[in-house]
Structure 1
Amino acid sequence: MSSYKTRASWSALPMFFEEPHRALGAQVDRSVTDDDVALHDAPRVIPRLAELGLLKLLVPQSHGGGAWGHGGKGVDVRALSVTREALAYASPMADSIFAVQGLGSHPILLAGEAEKRAKVLAEVVNGQRVCAFALTEPEAGSDVASMRTVARREGDDWVLDGEKVFISNVGIADHYVIFANADPEKGKKGISAFLVETSTQGLVTEPIAMSVEHPLGRISLKGCKVPGSALLGEVGHGLRLALGTLDVFRTSVGAAAVGMARRALDEAIARTTTRVQFGKPLSDFQLTQAALAEMATELDAARLLVFRAAWEKDQPADEASRKNSATSVAMAKMFATEAAQRIIDRAVQLFGGLGVTDRCVVDRLYREIRPLRIYEGTTEIQKLIIGGALVAPVK
């Protein structure tokens, strides 16, 4: 663990934060540490996050969550982002599990079913229920509309058939929000969302091995029968629920990337100031200082983009500001994840041979950062969003 620690973003960016955000940042930075064993053991992560009170950030105060934003009626994106940066700094796995806990519960809020499913949300906040979000399929990644999983009516029940892949929290989840087309003739307008308990007959999970320790897997649905009450919202509302959920959490992906990059920079500074080569510390060489300067500058640029986007997401929005916010979120997600990849790669280079050994922090970060450039909208998708907004005709 590096003895050096870069300044916390929430205290350095007062224009984007209110006092509760700064207090939260300081609290999470103190309480979330690399040596907290529970944050590196998948089954223990959610109970530990509940103990720390962080799961309250995933549910509005009006429905049993924390006192954040929107008059207690919404999820505060700045609070999510501050938390994810601190979590990713200490344990990228804990950060990922935390994020998916939000993805797997937020559709309930968007569907207007918070009161109907108050027990579920209470269990989410208390750490008694682990959530998952099952959208991706073998042939439907960025192109969500090409989804092949279907749902058909059978009396008062629904029967789901299909396959989901690269689903986080497989193996530890208590329920999955599963997206399936309930009216294929209508194309994407038939996509619907279902809250399916892990124990449901016809739902089979299989782990997928990764290069890092993350609960990830495949879900097979074969005649998976769920009650009519499993439907979230109405038939055909699934795509809106999926994209609306991703829209809230996408900014915080950039914050997680910032957390990992900040950890890599700290580790690189600690390494280069203590390792002596050719009679002096590596940090005395101009090339080393130049590398650290580029890393620090990219880190600050990424942080500024991320927290600008988070601030915009937390403001009351009309149609024009929502479009601007979507562009800011895409810029933040794209730049922060790509910059973090470069920063971490440079940290590995500065570590030399030690940087590619399996017990080295920067080696772990090198493997942890790569998926962030893919999930919740690839870098290429973010470029399409940004470019499309730039050339869109003015109305």
Structure 2
Amino acid sequence: MSLSKVFDAEVLALPLFDDSHRALADEMARWCEERAEAWTGLDTTDPAATGRAMLTELGQSGWLRHLDPGQDDSDVRSLCLRRQALAYHEDLADFTYSIQELTAAAIIRHGSDEQRSRYLPGLADGTSAGALAVSEPGAGSDLAAVALEATPHGDGFVLNGTKTWIAQGDIADVCVVLARTGDGPGPLGLTTFLVDCATPGFKAEPIGAIAPRSWAELTFTDCRVGPEAVLGERGQGLVVALDVLERARTTVAAAAIGFARRAFGLARDHARTRKAYGGRLADLQLVKSSLAGMDVKLAASSLLTARAAWAMDAGLDHAKHSSTAKLYSTEAAGEIVDGAVQILGAAGLVSGSVMERLYRQIRSLRIYEGSSEVIEMTIADAL
């Protein structure tokens, strides 16, 4: 497959990227293309089993090796390139990769040496699945409202409560759990824990989603963990959670670009070959306008995301940039996918088609890692 079908070659040529990034983009695009036919036949009726298989494939192919404490960590630009290529080809591949990265990032950035050596090798080779458990029935974007209790017991804690809408929760071997230890009011009373999912009192129940994904509700009933389970400092759980989610926002933008670029390519190819009104669909002025608008949105998304990832890698102030990239790219991707369905007409409404899958998959990105409305408030506060 041509690199330009997955990535904007002109954006990759900018000084925001170096030769190693361009080589990675080429390698990732080729690897995904080699698996494209097999991924077309994935069984999405059991997303948990498919997620496990996808995790094994990613691990064995080395795309998670940088999570191992013995390897060099990946920069954010590389994470974005991987997510864009995976999202372009297969949602479940991107979904599995992103959650593994999210879990590992919490441990890499806030874990002790013992925690890193215990959990990261399995996450890196795909033999262990991770999950980030922060959302609850009454606490989504407002993480300060988390109510799951972690009551001190001896030198450890006892967890009681529920987490919901947890990605990979039904296949996870280890969960990063945000819980209330009561060290202070609101956000000051939260602590993050690393919980082995084989711990007595832990239960996961799958939840169906509009796009087939491994998703679950987690129940903690007198779930005992030791002092070694505390991730970061006690009472600093919200800091850990927000740090990881903010870092991930730029990669969500990259995934949105992957989905949108796939939809744009399908719409453009259809318009070029579909005969209409004595010519081609692509000859109609309104269709030209729609395609041009999509192209502009893709270019803007790519540049905003590249800027945010570069700023993060350079150690610069990036919070506003990552929020801007996430907000614009996910909203634009929704518009591009919807516009692509419109150009395809009835052909875009076929059950099981690529367009149907894209239409389902793209919607969640405007909610993950901060809803668009929350991100807008974050940007406004930075003005």
Band of TM-score, shorter chain: over 0.9
Q: Does 1:368 align with 2:372?
A: no
Q: Matches of residues 308-327 of structure 1 in structure 2 within 5 Å?
A: 308-317=307-316, 322=317, 325-327=318-320
Q: How far 1:120 moved relative to its partner?
A: 1.5
Summarize deviations over 1:127-163 as a string: whole Å, max 9, x none.
1111000001111111110110110121133100111
- The match for 1:50 is 59
Distance 1:7 1:162, change over 3 A: closer
The offset of 1:11, in angstroms, is 5.3
Mapping of residues 123-134 of structure 1, within 5 Å: 123-134=122-133
Q: Distance in 2 between matches of 1:4 and 1:385?
A: 34
Query: Which residue in 1 is equivalent to 2:332?
Result: 339
Q: Which range moved further: 36-45 or 287-296?
A: 36-45
| Structure 1 residues 1-395: aligned runs within 5 Å | 6=5, 8-9=7-8, 12-13=11-12, 14-33=14-33, 34-37=36-39, 40=42, 41-58=50-67, 63-65=69-71, 67=72, 75-183=74-182, 185-317=184-316, 322=317, 325-390=318-383
**Which amino acid letter does the alignment assign opposite residue 329 of structure 1?**
S
What SS is found at the alignment partner of 1:94?
helix
3-state SS of paired residue (1:220): strand
Give me the identity figure in percent.
37
Structure 2 alignment gaps of length 5 or more: 43-49
**Alignment partners' CA distance in 1, 2:286 and 2:155:** 69
CA shift for structure 1 position 354: 1.7
22-31 or 228-237: bigger deviation:
228-237
Cα distance in 2, alignment partners of residues 306 and 280 from structure 1: 37
Q: In 2, Cα distance between the equivalents of 1:4 and 1:107?
A: 32
Q: CA deviation at 1:173?
A: 1.2
> Relative to structure 1, is the Cα distance of residues 10 and 16 closer, same or farther in structure 2, using a 3 angstrom cutoff?
farther
1:276-302 C-alpha deviation (Å, 9 max, x unpaired): 233332112222111111111111111
CA contact (8 A) 1:38 1:48 kept: no
Give the deviation of 1:57 after TM superposition: 4.0
Aligned pair in 2 of structure 1 residues 38, 261: CA closer, same or farther (>3 Å)? closer
Separation of aligned partners in 2, 1:369 and 1:277: 29
Separation (CA, whole Å) in 1 of partners of 2:97 and 2:366: 18
Kindly indicate whether the alpha-carbon contact (under 8 Å) linking 2:6 and 2:85 is maintained by their aligned counterparts in 1: no
Residues 163 and 220, structure 1, Cα contact 8 Å, conserved in 2: yes
Deviations 1:50-94 (A, max 9, x none): 1222112445xxx223x4xxxxxx541101001100000001221
Structure 1 residues 382 and 149: CA distance shift in structure 2, 3 A: same
Per-residue Cα deviation, 1:88-125 (whole angstroms, up to 9, x for no partner) = 00012211111111111212122241454313111111
TM-score, normalization by structure 1: 0.90
Q: 1:187 to 1:127 in 2, by over 3 A?
A: same
Q: What letter matches 1:54 in structure 2?
A: W
State the number of aligned residues.
Answer: 373
Q: Distance in 1 between matches of 2:211 and 2:23?
A: 32
TM-score (normalised: structure 2): 0.92
Unaligned runs of 5+ in 1: 68-73, 391-395
Q: Counterpart of 1:393? A: none
* SS of equivalent residue, structure 1 residue 377: coil
- Please say if residues 151 and 161 of structure 1, whose CA atoms lie closer than 8 Å, have aligned partners that are also in contact: yes
Query: Which residue identity does 2:55 align to in structure 1?
Result: I
> How far 1:222 moved relative to its partner?
1.2
Q: Residue type of the partner of 1:340?
A: A
AA aligned opposite 1:131:
G
* Inter-partner Cα distance in structure 2 for 1:19 and 1:124: 28
Give the aligned residue type for 1:25.
A
SS of 2:5 mapped into structure 1: coil
Counterpart code for 1:266 = G
Identify if the C-alpha distance between structure 1 residues 214 and 328 changes in structure 2 by more than 3 Å, giving closer, same or farther: same
Report the CA distance between 1:3 and its aligned residue.
9.2
In structure 2, C-alpha distance between the alignment counterparts of 1:126 and 1:76, rounded to whole Å: 19
Deviation per residue, 1:236-289 (Å, 9 max, x gap): 121111111112111100000000000001111121122223333211222211
Query: Quick one: distance in 2 between partners of 1:356 and 1:95?
Result: 24
- The answer to whether the Cα contact below 8 Å between 2:337 and 2:358 also exists between their aligned partners in 1 is yes
SS at match of 2:160: strand
Contact 2:3 2:29 in 1 (8 A): no
Equivalent residue letter for 2:16: F
RMSD: 2.0
| Cα distance in 2 between the residues matched to 1:39 and 1:96 | 17
